[in-house]
Chain A
């Protein structure tokens, strides 16, 4: 375990009126308990606005959580070096120096490489900045480290003295990755790192990320809405809907045996790049409800084809069904007794 969240919540206030009084809350992340194992790639999937980015940023304390805990496990050797006594740190309570030190161990790479890089900064300064900020290298040493980092992501010394706009999207994403690697972090949050790229370039970046993970034993939280990408790169996958985790399983288990109705619909909606495959498709009705006023009970019930009375009354917990498979649905356990019939929603093609 490298990191664990316990009932993590992040609500954004909605203000209104002339006094900017709080009139409501966007429940962007609403009680997420998730463990990330050291050295794994955990995929986080879900539709737009379900709270993926908010979760990623809150983990790194780029946003302050509304409530909940973020336990971060420091490797043994670091503990020995810094003389830390506690085994776990609750990142949610950290401030100042301690927070800055912890941030060194966690980095984030954003979707749009052009907006996350400073357009007026040379590449060598962009990549070297985190080293300077954390006082990890200076002068000649800094030069050497930056070049090393660029080499790692497939760039060369030719690129040192250029500006971001001189690079293609894929190259800019490489620069962003090099920058994230600078402080030798344990955990990197990758927020849709390939969504703005073309497929042929996406493959290059996915391969690079995999190589880096193997080489440096990195841990990834890979956020995406692209299910085939997450299947390719992740060891485990968490499915998010309206601020909550609805299913968590090993990649193979999830794709072969999706249990939550939302996951089932999500997987069946993937366009498969093979004209011979004509999948059975579950088409969901309607849209994702607003996170300002989510439905009572199970948040998915307004679109669920299996919804029953109890779904309105109680919020389902994320429970283990064995084999590292977790589901938050009232009706999955009773499935053997009552087979689900999503017939009226099924469209045969």
Chain B
């Protein structure tokens, strides 16, 4: 499968008061077209930071030090079709990418919603921002229908004028003519038909997302909805622009299991329907097993292992993955859990070499020296561990 997104040798730091947090170091991963790629790891291992780096949403004191984020777009933004490095683009370009091409769903739905606007306003806004042209076309179609139906000549003339405006809008939505119109009383609200279309679309998408009585729900405000419903609204906003890549950062971690089941089921259906690729971030190995085709395992800002989901659970290679799988309770099993000793290190002074070495049961002398590189040792299986190969990462220069 062709690669949609490639992250190469990404390194990023946070320059905090206590010291430099080396949050990501040489992250390499790719998302293939149409797949759900899982990104798992424990708290603080850099999952969210990876997602934010891809979208260039890292704020100071954070800084991306080096690396590439190559993205192949569906749109005409990318003429070469070769993919472009998002890290080289300016903010204006990135704003088009965010939303139009890559959407993100966050862990905390209430943080993604504005408390003072109704659900309708917020979902419509996403549609207006990213699909205005499509909405204009729909509105135009409706005008044509109205013209056909209308018998009174004066009204017909007004409708025809309206048609003219909409044709202009489709041609060039930011033209001077339209800006001029918005100052004239009477025609100022020329775009009301587009707003109307956005409203219809919003209700429709919420219905697809399994919200009953969406007409009534859209009138409410975020705090009047439960967590599960809020998360659906956030998903609706993310899907409104039909993204090529959807990044879901722990979308169900704060929800109850029965609601989580609804949302996971939904995401699976949406993938089939909309054909988006998904980067699914979670710390729950159960969710990974259910949702993903391939998995990237992260540990303390490094990538430990990449594998197809079945082989990962059948035969985990990296000692960290092995430990993680042994420490989850499983249905029907009462034998003692095996835990990993110690805890996740502080990334201000991360362990040298393989960052897992202070906790690793198979640690060798060389492990604390240089970092093992992430190497493909079987088809589709990459691992960064000296038990499987001897290649070290070249030093930074």
Q: Please list the residues of chain A having a beta carbon within 8 angstroms of any beta carbon in chain B.
A: 47-48, 168-171, 198-204, 206-207, 210, 225, 227-229, 231-232, 255, 265-266, 268-277, 281, 283-288, 347
Contact = CB atoms under 8 A, between A and B. Distances in A.
A273 B43 contact: no
B264 A271 contact: yes
A273 B330 contact: yes
B265 A271 contact: no
B325 interface: yes
A198 B283 contact: yes
| Interface-centre pick from B229, B328, B337 (highest chain A CB count, 10 A) | B337
B316 to A, nearest CB: 12
Contacts of B42: 198-200
Interface string B225-236: 011110000000
Contacts of A283: 258, 261-262, 265
Given A198-B42, A199-B324, A275 B289 contact: yes
Contact of B331 (A207, A266, A272, A288): A272
B275 interface: no
14 contacts: A170-B343, A198-B42, A199-B285, A202-B339, A204-B339, A232-B334, A268-B261, A271-B260, A271-B290, A273-B285, A273-B286, A273-B288, A275-B313, A283-B265
Given A48-B227, A169-B343, A274-B313, 4 more contacts: A203-B337, A229-B329, A231-B332, A273-B325
A171 B261 contact: no
A269 B260 contact: yes
Interface residues of B, number: 47
B73 interface: no
B67 interface: no
Contact of B333 (A204, A227, A232): A232
B329 A228 contact: yes
Contacts of B331: 228, 231, 255, 270, 272
A255 B284 contact: no
Given A171-B343, A232-B334, A275 B329 contact: no
A270 B286 CA distance: 8
A265 B212 CA distance: 20
A272 B257 contact: no
B287 interface: yes
Contacts of B338: 203
A315 to B, nearest CB: 22
A280 B265 CA distance: 12
| Interface-centre pick from B229, B327, B336 (highest chain A CB count, 10 A) | B327
A286 B212 contact: yes
Given A198-B283, A272-B286, A203 B327 contact: yes
Contact of A225 (B228, B256, B284): B256
Contacts of B328: 199, 203, 228, 273
B327 A199 contact: yes
B366 to A, nearest CB: 24
Interface in B297-348: 309-310, 313, 323-334, 336-341, 343-344
A273 B289 contact: yes
B259 A287 contact: yes
Q: Which 4 A-B pairs have the closest CB atoms?
A: A271-B286, A203-B339, A203-B327, A269-B261
B282 to A, nearest CB: 9
B306 to A, nearest CB: 16
B287 A168 contact: no
Contacts of B285: 199, 273
A94 B195 CA distance: 63
Nearest to A286: B212
Contacts of B286: 228, 270-273
A232 B290 CA distance: 21
Contacts of B337: 203, 206-207, 232
| Interface-centre pick from B42, B323, B339, B340 (highest chain A CB count, 10 A) | B339
Contacts of A225: 256-257
A199 B313 contact: no
B340 A200 contact: yes
Given A283-B262, A287-B229, A273 B313 contact: yes
Interface string B72-90: 0000000000000000000
Given A199-B42, A201-B339, A281 B261 contact: yes
Contacts of A284: 258, 261-262
A255 B333 CA distance: 11
Nearest to B45: A198
Contacts of B43: 198
A269 B258 contact: yes
B187 to A, nearest CB: 44
Interface string B351-394: 00000000000000000000000000000000000000000000
Given A225-B256, A284-B258, A287-B226, A200 B323 contact: yes
A145 to B, nearest CB: 27
B256 A265 contact: no
B258 A266 contact: yes
B324 A47 contact: no
A217 to B, nearest CB: 19
A227 B256 CA distance: 11
B262 A275 contact: no
A270 B332 CA distance: 13
Nearest to B254: A48
Contact of A265 (B258, B329, B334, B336): B258
B229 A232 contact: no
Nearest to A168: B343
Nearest to B43: A198
A200 B360 CA distance: 12
Contact of B327 (A202, A227, A266): A202
| Interface-centre pick from A170, A199, A201, A265 (highest chain B CB count, 10 A) | A199
Interface in B257-276: 257-262, 264-265
A210 B336 CA distance: 9
